[in-house]
Chains A and B, each alone.
Chain A
């Protein structure tokens, strides 16, 4: 079967993303310490419940608290069917929506209590020595270091200098104002422990499968259930197996996609492939080594207990006697001299069900110039320091980060599925649905800190969605920050020039109002947040 659609058909009928109306109430002390959060979502699911469907908003339940410590938390979601296109998982699924809301709200709280928004975050986030940390939402974050990532990002960004420039521009009444946006995000990757999916009434589990075939030629065939569609698994999986088995990278071939070849697997989504599929791969490789040991010992006339495996060789401890695992594979295939009970191959497979999610995090800083005369925004600088645990392939990670950033920035500035009052999609082609190109973005400055995950062998955390999740609030925070002194405290996504200009205009440019008493409304992106002005030590009585 083959299905082909036009771009316009895809824009109209393939699933859309996000579309939540979020009502948040944040309780905090006057000193800026968050004490509680209430989240009430109204999620437009469109006309059908799709693959992940109602699970998308529900995933947010674990993420609205983000990297922050507080004791009181309530999450409710109502999902409605409408006559729009169905809404389903779109890069990040549930986490971008939650991250957007909490990171926007943390900025509003900082403005409300008169603190630097980075300092406010540090006051509230989990300290690196507190890991593992069980959050108010019930997730146990295994590792992380928000201080390290933030310190590095601040340095790269020139945070203090840009704040100084912002101050100068405000004082001189420059028509082009400067804003600084912050997003200290975390997310949950490595979907997923099957028992959790069971609780969400998913049909499937969250395990992953890998098989390794040791061919008589010395080549290694790897079969993965995480079929890639552009994520670079063939390269990364070859690296992992080559490292684990000590064979040349070129000798590894990765097979996937055809269910006649890759019989088991649950595919690529949710930043899971490396964290879950990679661990299955490691376990299968370790099984191959274990299977090779008795035959290698027989070939070397030694006891299996005396063998050590390193750099692809099974070697008798304390001697230079050894065989490569590829030689053992050939000997197994020939089967001319196998010890009793040894089968004539070294092939192995492993299915792995993760014990926990993984929790990459990062600090994203965005400098944005806003032309107050036209409302046009122009990104000046974007720095991100992501902690995605151990990195297998830096180039692939950079590609994921850059692509993810553009996708998240596009949500903040350009892309929007728009329906008219009759329910007709009016953004049905790339004339009206604005997809950015390289000409519209800037060169991002990216770097990393590394806090290895403690729940998988390689220490990986996943990176497929990080940029998309983190960048949207960083960008909108930057736009709002640029014009906050003019009385603006929210701008609906995407921040079109017209919306930015109108926000400035309607705030009464140059006025001193803070607007904080009114709810911050953002219908299209769905945020309606309130930073409560009472002392807010408890969750109750603040609606």
Chain B
């Protein structure tokens, strides 16, 4: 289908973009990589009068070292993030999640910030961002502010970004030497995850010293499996050592029911996938721990 007619503007700076946003307000939609918005427009689920394209703002693109954290420009494509050596070294979990995100075409067009701002609970980036305590930098008419990941995801497709604000960068705290794995459960390769688990672990010998676990599609927002994280500390990185802790993965979740499985099945999946994600992140199951 063809989208309803709209006016298109492609500003060359964040300031211009904010100005356009201020001018057209709720009649405008921001387009980043367009991998979610375009289908919405084509199916006419939304018909904004203005589309503001952030694709021509060079400052929004790229990954750089920010000292104790990495700075990922909101308009950096998934492919660029996935292949970035800094990300691989300091935020391996993000690299792992990007690896199987959608398909190659989407990874080359879709953007890191765009996907996070879209806040699809089945999106692959929310859980890793939450697990790694990412910080979201949003810019509005009054300047920039920092939003911690725990406050960023508000509800289904809803974030803390204000109507007059734009997500400009995502800060990922450096965590070199952690093992990481993104365990994604799908029926066909190009599908959104039915459930996925993002796990990062720091080992002390054969013992889990610290763990960070994020859950994809287990509620209206990405979720942090804090009960699992706490239970894992001090446990041996073995199937038996991890099993009991992983069994807590569904605590406090509210997963959807759909054609791919009902909520109970998803809760069960979360426990199995969490166990596997943690073990793989810990370098068991044949995977290696970098660093």
The segment out of A157-165, A315-323, A430-438 that lies at the interface is A430-438
Query: A434–B187 contact, CB under 8 A?
Result: yes
Assembled-state Cα–Cα distance A437/B104 (Å): 14
Whether A496 touches B261, Cβ cut-off 8 Å, given contacts A434-B188, A439-B190, is: yes
Query: A374–B259 contact, CB under 8 A?
Result: no
Whether A434 touches B269, Cβ cut-off 8 Å, given contacts A376-B185, A496-B261, is: no
Whether A427 touches B187, Cβ cut-off 8 Å, given contacts A374-B269, A374-B272, A501-B268, is: no
List B contacts of A75 (CB < 8 A).
none
Assembled-state Cα–Cα distance A434/B185 (Å): 14
Give the one of B187, B192, B258 with max A CB within 10 A: B187
CB-contacts of B152-201 with A (<8 A): 185, 187-192, 194
Query: B189–A414 contact, CB under 8 A?
Result: no
List B contacts of A537 (CB < 8 A).
none
Query: B188–A440 contact, CB under 8 A?
Result: yes
B interface majority secondary structure:
loop
What is the CB-to-nearest-CB distance from B204 to chain A, in angstroms, rounded to a whole number?
28
Of A6, A416, A435, A501, the residue contacting B1 (CB under 8 A) is A6
Assembled-state Cα–Cα distance A374/B191 (Å): 17
B262 contacts the other chain (CB 8 A):
yes
Assembled-state Cα–Cα distance A426/B259 (Å): 9
| B191, closest chain A residue (CB) | A434
A312 contacts the other chain (CB 8 A):
no
A290 contacts the other chain (CB 8 A):
no
Give per-residue flags for A329-364: 1 if the beta carbon is below 8 A from chain B beta carbons, else 0: 000000000000000000000000000000000000
| B268, closest chain A residue (CB) | A501
Of B189, B261, B268, B269, the residue contacting A439 (CB under 8 A) is B189
A130 contacts the other chain (CB 8 A):
no
List B contacts of A440 (CB < 8 A).
188-189
Query: B187–A497 contact, CB under 8 A?
Result: yes
Of B185, B188, B192, B260, the residue contacting A374 (CB under 8 A) is B185
Assembled-state Cα–Cα distance A23/B272 (Å): 37
What is the CB-to-nearest-CB distance from B255 to chain A, in angstroms, rounded to a whole number?
12
B265 contacts the other chain (CB 8 A):
yes
A502 contacts the other chain (CB 8 A):
yes
What is the CB-to-nearest-CB distance from B251 to chain A, in angstroms, rounded to a whole number?
19
List A contacts of B261 (CB < 8 A).
496-498
A373 contacts the other chain (CB 8 A):
yes
CB-contacts of A255-279 with B (<8 A): none
| A427, closest chain B residue (CB) | B259
List A contacts of B185 (CB < 8 A).
374, 376, 497
What is the CB-to-nearest-CB distance from A536 to chain B, in angstroms, rounded to a whole number?
39
List B contacts of A416 (CB < 8 A).
259
| B1, closest chain A residue (CB) | A6
What is the CB-to-nearest-CB distance from A297 to chain B, in angstroms, rounded to a whole number?
65
Query: B259–A432 contact, CB under 8 A?
Result: yes
A418 contacts the other chain (CB 8 A):
yes
List B contacts of A418 (CB < 8 A).
259
Query: B262–A498 contact, CB under 8 A?
Result: yes
Assembled-state Cα–Cα distance A497/B268 (Å): 12
What is the CB-to-nearest-CB distance from A55 to chain B, in angstroms, rounded to a whole number?
31
Whether A437 touches B189, Cβ cut-off 8 Å, given contacts A373-B272, A498-B265, A501-B268, is: yes
Assembled-state Cα–Cα distance A437/B188 (Å): 8
Query: A496–B260 contact, CB under 8 A?
Result: yes
What is the CB-to-nearest-CB distance from B50 to chain A, in angstroms, rounded to a whole number?
25
Of B187, B189, B192, B269, the residue contacting A496 (CB under 8 A) is B187
What is the CB-to-nearest-CB distance from B274 to chain A, in angstroms, rounded to a whole number?
12
What is the CB-to-nearest-CB distance from B196 to chain A, in angstroms, rounded to a whole number?
13
| B190, closest chain A residue (CB) | A437
| A9, closest chain B residue (CB) | B1
What is the CB-to-nearest-CB distance from A192 to chain B, in angstroms, rounded to a whole number?
36
CB-contacts of A277-316 with B (<8 A): none
Query: A502–B265 contact, CB under 8 A?
Result: yes
Listed by A's residue number, 10 A-B pairs whose Cβ atoms lie within 8 Å are: A374-B185, A376-B187, A414-B188, A418-B259, A427-B259, A432-B258, A434-B187, A439-B188, A439-B190, A440-B188
The 3 A-B residue pairs whose C-beta atoms are closest, nearest first, are: A439-B189, A498-B261, A498-B265
